[in-house]
Amino acid sequence: MQPRKYSKILFSLIWIFFVLIGNSKAQDNSLDSLRNSVKEAESDNEKLKAYRTFLSHIYPNEKELIFKHYPEGIDLAVSLGDYETAANWSIELFQSFQISSGKGKDALITMEKATTFVPKISSSKLRGDIFLKYAAAYYDMGEFEKAIGEYTNAIHEFTDQDSILVADALFFRGQARDFKGEFINAINDYQKAALYYELLEDEEYVDYVQNSMSIIFSKYGMLDESEKIRLKLLESHLRRNQKRYWAVVMYNRAGTYRLAGYLEENYNILREVYENMDEEIDDPHLEVSLNLALANHFAREGDNQQFDFHYRKADSIREERIGKGSYLDISFTKSRFLGEKNFGDLFVAKEKLKEYKAQANSIDKFTDKLDVLAFEAELQHLMGNHAEAFEALSSWSQKKDSVFAVNKATSFAYYQTLYETEKKERELLKKSLEIENITTANQKKIALIVGLSLILIVGLAVLYLYKNLQSEIKAKRMQEKFSRDLLIYQEEERKRISKDLHDGLGQSLLLIKNKVAMSTDASASGLLDSAIEELRGISRSLHPFQLEELGLTRAIKNTLENLDGETDIFISSEIDEVDSLFDKNEQLHVYRIVQEVFNNILKHAQASAVRVLMVLDNQMVNLSIEDNGIGFDFSEKYQDFESLGLKTLKERTASLKGTMKVDSEKGKGTKFSFYFYK
């Protein structure tokens, strides 16, 4: 690599470093500012509002801030009667405790406190969620009996609108009952949860439930049923590239083989999962369980080095990512006992076995209770206490036989009842389907008749509206054509009258003038001159012959110059060359628009100045005429039939396919704007 490239990379790394430091400092400054706003709040309500902003800006990894300030916010919300805010913050705090090492007791206390204000919360979802998290706190600590009770409370709080949460509560309660050894109750919860998830089309959680059912089947010796479920799950997870779920099912499958006595198959599966663990399978609980299972295997095999490696690895993962105080603690005690029994001091192993027995009794997990008796028999045998070993082995055998006999008998009764229930349900379903088919057929007929009727009604309504619309359009077009034809007729008539006046009466007056000029009567000559000029003015107003001779642009300029010279009004103008954009008829309309606006100004505006702009802007002509006169109310004038000038302006503008805008206010002048798109 070249030195320049090295320098660029070094510069980039330094820049990133300072950006990260800057962002961190900015975050710290922001939090300090928000914390100060909490302290400086003048009332409790303002303080609560400040807490909302402050807590929302704390990142999830800033656990010290969360553990310090969330309890303060919760207490303040409770004191102000804002129980929903207190509940939401309690749940957020619980979740932070749950993922933090050694905070299980704090998580439990937080949710226990939250249950005290459940009756004051209106949201069923929030009420149930509090009990759901409270149960989870008990579950994580291995207190399954209490967890079952709180999951039940959660189910009672939820309503029909909270179906997904009801399904979760049933599923988690089933797991707690599974740990307790309540086979029938666990299966019932699993099946209800699975039904909810299926109806909600949540395939992922259907798979979770199926996995739990496979575990409970294997636990009670129903290996074929367990294996069928697991093979389907493994196929589904591989097809959807769900490596984590695949790993969980494989781990549970290994446990089934161990219980069945197939230790080599158990090890092979554990090894396959272990070798496939990567970043995609980010599950610290699974990693701990997997390493402890491998450690137990090597303890039985007498491989101290491998036992120690996997036990230490499990312990480091627990310390870094989980912490003590979870349901995994009993598994560590079990592994530690097996290590001491096989490689260490038997008296230390005896102490570990006592600890394991106490933990098994406290969480009331029957599989661990059985293991305690089996381990006690093994340990007493190794220590030479054969009578105690025989007694422990007998207790283990009796307990195992009684538990499994009861559960198998119960499961047989359960499946017998389930078979009878399903048989009746199938019959009812068959009848229901027949009724449903008849009902569906009738509904289709009714729907068809109603649909056809609606289509017919809508069709007739649309046809009626279409006809009316066409009539309106036709009438409007006729009105527009009439207005255009009328304007054309008026111009032609004006042109004819103007020509007649100019060629007929005008010539006669000129002859009279010439004869009078020969006489000595000066006053008569002056009167004739005045009459001729007036006649010419009338002729020009009737038809602007200069428009034909000079074109639109020059004709407007001449008109403005004449008005400027003949009146007291100061006229300024800016006129672009636009002749090429309009044909002769259109030029006449534009010229008349200018004339009509100035007629209004001269008659009504009392203006002292007028500004005229005719600007060509990208094939659009913008004509504006603005005066400083007295102004008027446009809507009043336009509705007044005497104001034909304004209506004529609108009609001429429409004939040019343009738009007209009038801005006027009494005492503030008037501005006419016309836009012609060419």
Q: What percent of the chain clears pLDDT 70, i.e. is strictly above it?
A: 77
Per the prediction, the chain carries an average pLDDT of 80
Query: Does one domain contain both 670 and 570?
Result: yes
User: How far is residue 97's CA from residue 67's CA, in Å, rounded to a whole number?
Assistant: 8
Domain count, the chain: 2
Exposed e or buried b per residue across 614-628, where buried means at least 16 C-beta atoms within 10 angstroms of its C-beta: bebeeeebebbbbbb
Of 85-99, 386-400, 428-442, where does mean pLDDT reach its minimum?
Answer: 428-442
Of 236-240, 272-276, 622-626, where does mean pLDDT reach its minimum?
Answer: 236-240
Residue 224's nearest CA partner among 264, 256, 178 is: 256
Q: Is residue 194 part of a domain?
A: no
Q: What six digits make up the tokens of 663?
A: 């801005």
Q: Is residue 411 part of a domain?
A: no
Q: Is residue 11 part of a domain?
A: no
Query: Does one domain contain both 519 and 449?
Result: yes
Of 143-157, 322-336, 603-617, where does mean pLDDT reach its minimum?
Answer: 322-336
Q: Is residue 603 part of a domain?
A: yes
Query: Does one domain contain both 560 and 525?
Result: no
φ, ψ of residue 100 to 5 degrees: the values are: -110, 145
Counts of helices then strands in the chain (DSSP H, E): 26, 5
Query: Does one domain contain both 563 and 647?
Result: yes
Query: Does one domain contain both 523 and 557?
Result: no
- Greatest mean pLDDT among 291-300, 459-468, 531-540 lies in 291-300
User: How far is residue 504's CA from residue 552's CA, in Å, rounded to a whole number?
Assistant: 27
Indicate the SS3 state at residue 311: helix
**Location of structure tokens 């609980």:** 285
pLDDT band of 132, cuts 50, 70, 90: very high
What angle separates helix 203-219 from helix 243-259, to the nearest 10 degrees?
A: 10
Indicate the SS3 state at residue 675: strand
CB 373 within 8 A of CB 395: yes
Q: Is residue 170 part of a domain?
A: no
Among 491, 508, 543, which residue terminates a domain?
A: 543
Query: Does one domain contain both 556 and 539?
Result: no
Among 490, 518, 543, which residue terminates a domain?
A: 543
CB 137 within 8 A of CB 90: no
Query: In this predicted structure, what is the pLDDT of residue 644?
Result: 55
Query: In this predicted structure, what is the pLDDT of residue 434?
Result: 66
pLDDT band of 480, cuts 50, 70, 90: low
Query: Does one domain contain both 589 and 654?
Result: yes
Q: Is residue 94 part of a domain?
A: no
Query: Does one domain contain both 564 and 658?
Result: yes
Residue 559's nearest CA partner among 632, 610, 620, 496 is: 610
User: How far is residue 222's CA from residue 256's CA, in Å, rounded to a whole number?
Assistant: 10
Among 489, 516, 543, which residue terminates a domain?
A: 543
Residue 612 has pLDDT above 90, yes or no: yes
Other CB atoms within 10 Å distance of the CB of residue 367: 15
Query: Does one domain contain both 673 and 554?
Result: yes
- Predicted model pTM: 0.47
**Location of structure tokens 């008005």:** 563
Query: In this predicted structure, what is the pLDDT of residue 396?
Result: 75
Q: Is residue 673 part of a domain?
A: yes
For every residue of 398-453, which 3-state class applies, written as one string?
HHHHHHHHHHHHHHHHHHHHHHHHHHHHHHHHHHHHHHHHHHHHHHHHHHHHHHHH
pLDDT band of 529, cuts 50, 70, 90: low
pLDDT band of 154, cuts 50, 70, 90: very high
Query: Does one domain contain both 554 and 673?
Result: yes
Query: Does one domain contain both 438 and 537?
Result: yes
Question: Which range marks the domain in which residue 584 is found?
Answer: 550-677
Residue 152 has pLDDT above 90, yes or no: yes
Query: In this predicted structure, what is the pLDDT of residue 419?
Result: 43
Query: Does one domain contain both 653 and 628?
Result: yes
Query: In this predicted structure, what is the pLDDT of residue 29?
Result: 53
**Beta-carbon contacts of residue 89 (< 8 Å; ≥ 6 apart):** 55, 70, 73, 74, 77
Q: Is residue 584 part of a domain?
A: yes
Domain containing residue 634: CATH number: 3.30.565.10
For every residue of 588-615, which 3-state class applies, written as one string?
HHHHHHHHHHHHHHHHHHCCCEEEEEEE
